Amino acid sequence: MAKTQQAQVHTEARCFLPCGSVMVLIALICIASSSTLLHESASWQLGYSFVDGQVHNVRAYSCDAHSVGLILGLAASFLSWSRLRSLAFNRAWWIAYFVVQFVIVASFYYALQHPDSWWLMVTVQILGAAVSALFVIVCVQVVRCLSPRQMIMTVMIVFLSMIALVQGLFSALEVSAPLEVSALLHNALVIIAAVSYVLALGKSEALHKAYEAHEQPIRAQVESGDSARHRIPVYIRLFAIVGLYACVFGFMHVIPLALPLGVYARVVTFIIGAVVAFGLYAWTVRPADVQNVASIWNRFYRFVFPVVTIAALLGPLTTKTEFLPALVLQACALYYFDALLATASYTIALAINSSPAQVFGRAFFIRAVGFFCGNMIGTIVHENVVLDASTFSIIGAVVFGLLTLVTFNMNSEKYAKTVWGLIPHEDPRAKMNRELDLRCEEVSREFGLTERESEILLLLSRDKRPKEISEVLVVSVATVRSHVQGIYSKTGAHSYEELDKLLNKR
């Protein structure tokens, strides 16, 4: 039996991801890309139009419509776990779902051929974003079967694949090929998603295993304490931090859309920003960090805050550089923010034994609400305020002040474990494990342990023996013992008992 399990571990390692999870991720990438493409294609096509006898930037309406659709779709994460699980395996439902997807794509390209029907384009975006967000929530549950290292790779693969498809392939087709080619390939995305998910329903061990888990419900709870500050629900603190950052991103996303930039100019800025963001993500987020939300919060205020603040402060220069420096930094901060949010959702879900789909959905629901508010504010500012250097200076100062307030003055370190989801308080075991994880991280930094030694130290702290560690990390027992000796040598411990005392030292 042990040999069979070990063989399965090695098979999954060779397959890069758990058996059957690739099909689910392909379906997720295709549907998420389809929804994003609806928004981006509309942004490329729309401009100024007469609405009720007045000239309006209809391109901004496209941003609003996409955000509204995401809010409606992500609201499905508030369904009970039993309903979400039954929905995931309802084959008839998903066949009807993909038929609707084809209708949405067909309606969208019809609207593109009739520029006066901008209202139809906006309506289709709402529907497309809503149904796509629902599908993404269902697929995200498969990350329950991923290891921390696999989760990091999955986040990068999903985001970079979407960027390559939308900002790469389809943006090139936008200026170099007939509209029919884009429509054909867009429908191909839906077909690939449909085939992949239907196959996953029957053959994906990872999908079935993920939905067989006994997930605990997620509830918004009130902090204990006598002061009014402690009676503020976690939801409010969550919205204040994640929501305000998303609001800033939404505001900065709308303002540049008023500029007459070409497709390539906009696309290049997003691609450069994405490359920098995920290079930073790969460099700063390690498997050991994925097991500790406090570490992820540390990356958040060390990297997201300064990049988005600099992007806002660069506003006065954008009148001469067509927003390109600010757009690159904005895209970098947004992609890095989304990657951290997805990673933290995974970490919290595993820590409290809740559904990753529900934690992810609720975290991104709040992100979508904040982004929509930023879109609306940006639209109002654009249509009523002269965007000169003085205005951009004021905007930059306001953004800096607000983000400083929510990042450094809301006791964020204390609430880092709950700030990315509506989750219950930690039970005693979860609290003990979290504190032990923090202590392992401190010891790793203090004694200069390597990344692999840090991973093994964390597993040792959970009473894992070398043979068990070798199966988890898919390495030989001899390799594990060699790293354990390295840990002993660096920390000065001579036995497991001495190492345990060092970890439990307060």
Reference 143, options 154, 158, 159; nearest CA is 154
Mean pLDDT of 157-176: 86
CA–CA distances in Å: residue 397 to residues 247, 248, 324? 15, 12, 20
Measured distance CA(238)–CA(251) in Å, rounded: 19
Mean pLDDT of 303-328: 73
Within this chain, do residues 127 and 256 fall inside the same structural domain, yes or no?
yes
Residue 145: DSSP 8-state: G
In this prediction, residue 214 carries a pLDDT of 67
Tell me the average pLDDT of the chain.
79
- If you search the block for the tokens 């500050």, which residue do you land on? 229
Query: Quick one: CA torsion of 64, 68, 71, 75, rounded to 10 degrees?
Result: 180
Window from 19-23, 276-280, 363-367, 407-411 with minimum mean pLDDT: 407-411
In this prediction, residue 12 carries a pLDDT of 41
Within this chain, do residues 81 and 145 fall inside the same structural domain, yes or no?
yes
Window from 96-110, 182-196, 209-223 with minimum mean pLDDT: 209-223
Answer yes or no: is pLDDT of 251 > 70.
yes
Within this chain, do residues 82 and 169 fall inside the same structural domain, yes or no?
yes
3-state class (DSSP) for residue 46: coil
In this prediction, residue 463 carries a pLDDT of 81
Window from 39-48, 200-209, 338-347 with minimum mean pLDDT: 39-48
In this prediction, residue 226 carries a pLDDT of 42
Task: Please check whether residue 388 is in contact with residue 319, taking contact to mean a CB–CB distance below 8 angstroms.
Answer: yes
Answer yes or no: is pLDDT of 44 > 60.
yes
The verdict on residue 156 lying in a domain is yes
In this prediction, residue 415 carries a pLDDT of 54
The verdict on residue 330 lying in a domain is yes
Q: Which of 382, 415, 448 is the last residue of a domain?
A: 415
Within this chain, do residues 373 and 287 fall inside the same structural domain, yes or no?
yes
For residue 304, what are the domain limits?
Answer: 19-215+247-415
Measured distance CA(335)–CA(277) in Å, rounded: 6
Q: Amino acid identity of 329?
A: L
pLDDT tens per residue across span 273-291: 899 999 999 998 888 778 7
Q: Amino acid identity of 199?
A: L
pLDDT tens per residue across span 84-111: 888 888 888 999 999 999 999 999 888 8
Task: Please check whether residue 456 is in contact with residue 473, taking contact to mean a CB–CB distance below 8 angstroms.
Answer: yes
Within this chain, do residues 380 and 477 fall inside the same structural domain, yes or no?
no
Within this chain, do residues 346 and 466 fall inside the same structural domain, yes or no?
no
Confidence of residue 319 (pLDDT cuts 50, 70, 90): low
Q: Give the sign of the dihedral formed by CA 399, CA 402, CA 406, CA 408.
A: positive
Answer yes or no: is pLDDT of 118 > 60.
yes
Beta carbons within 8 Å of 191's beta carbon, 6+ residues apart? none
DSSP 253-290: HHGGGGS---HHHHHHHHHHHHHHHHHHHHHH--HHHH
3-state class (DSSP) for residue 463: coil
Among the ranges 144-148, 174-178, 281-285, which has the highest mean pLDDT value? 281-285
Measured distance CA(318)–CA(412) in Å, rounded: 33
In this prediction, residue 46 carries a pLDDT of 62
In this prediction, residue 47 carries a pLDDT of 57
Residue 141: DSSP 8-state: G
Within this chain, do residues 38 and 69 fall inside the same structural domain, yes or no?
yes
pLDDT tens per residue across span 471-480: 778 788 889 8
Query: For every residue of 317-357, which 3-state class applies, written as one string?
Result: HHHHHCCHHHHHHHHHHHHHHHHHHHHHHHHHHHHHCECHH
CA atoms within 13 A on the CB side of 90: 15
- Based on the structure, what is the number of domains in the chain? 2
The verdict on residue 225 lying in a domain is no
Mean pLDDT of 26-50: 80
Among the ranges 124-138, 254-268, 324-338, which has the highest mean pLDDT value? 124-138
3-state class (DSSP) for residue 232: coil
Q: Percent of the chain at pLDDT above 70?
A: 78
In this prediction, residue 222 carries a pLDDT of 45
Task: Measure the N-to-C terminal CA separation of the chain; round to a whole number of Å.
Answer: 41
In this prediction, residue 54 carries a pLDDT of 55
Within this chain, do residues 102 and 155 fall inside the same structural domain, yes or no?
yes
Within this chain, do residues 179 and 272 fall inside the same structural domain, yes or no?
yes
Answer yes or no: is pLDDT of 340 > 80.
yes
Answer yes or no: is pLDDT of 247 > 80.
yes
Within this chain, do residues 451 and 404 fall inside the same structural domain, yes or no?
no
In this prediction, residue 420 carries a pLDDT of 40
The verdict on residue 223 lying in a domain is no
Answer yes or no: is pLDDT of 61 > 50.
yes
Task: Please check whether residue 363 is in contact with residue 330, taking contact to mean a CB–CB distance below 8 angstroms.
Answer: no
- If you search the block for the tokens 């901008």, which residue do you land on? 118
CATH number of 474's domain: 3.40.50.2300
In this prediction, residue 14 carries a pLDDT of 42
Reference 21, options 202, 193, 206, 162; nearest CA is 206
Answer yes or no: is pLDDT of 403 > 60.
yes
In this prediction, residue 133 carries a pLDDT of 93
Query: What residues are paired with 49 via a beta bridge?
Result: 56
Task: Please check whether residue 151 is in contact with residue 94, taking contact to mean a CB–CB distance below 8 angstroms.
Answer: no
Mean pLDDT of 238-261: 75
Q: Percent of the chain at pLDDT above 90?
A: 20
Answer yes or no: is pLDDT of 236 > 70.
no
**Residue 59 CA from chain centroid, whole number:** 25
In this prediction, residue 7 carries a pLDDT of 41
Within this chain, do residues 252 and 205 fall inside the same structural domain, yes or no?
yes
Answer yes or no: is pLDDT of 336 > 80.
yes
In this prediction, residue 339 carries a pLDDT of 93
The verdict on residue 228 lying in a domain is no
Reference 142, options 208, 215, 94, 77; nearest CA is 208
Within this chain, do residues 390 and 468 fall inside the same structural domain, yes or no?
no
Beta carbons within 8 Å of 386's beta carbon, 6+ residues apart? none
Of residues 91 and 81, more confidence is placed in 91
The verdict on residue 220 lying in a domain is no
Of residues 506 and 123, more confidence is placed in 123
Query: What residues are paired with 56 via a beta bridge?
Result: 49
Helix axes 428-447, 477-491, angle to 10 degrees: 70
CATH number of 308's domain: 1.20.1250.20
Q: Which of 365, 392, 415 is the last residue of a domain?
A: 415
Beta carbons within 8 Å of 102's beta carbon, 6+ residues apart? 187, 190
Task: Please check whether residue 422 is in contact with residue 397, taking contact to mean a CB–CB distance below 8 angstroms.
Answer: no
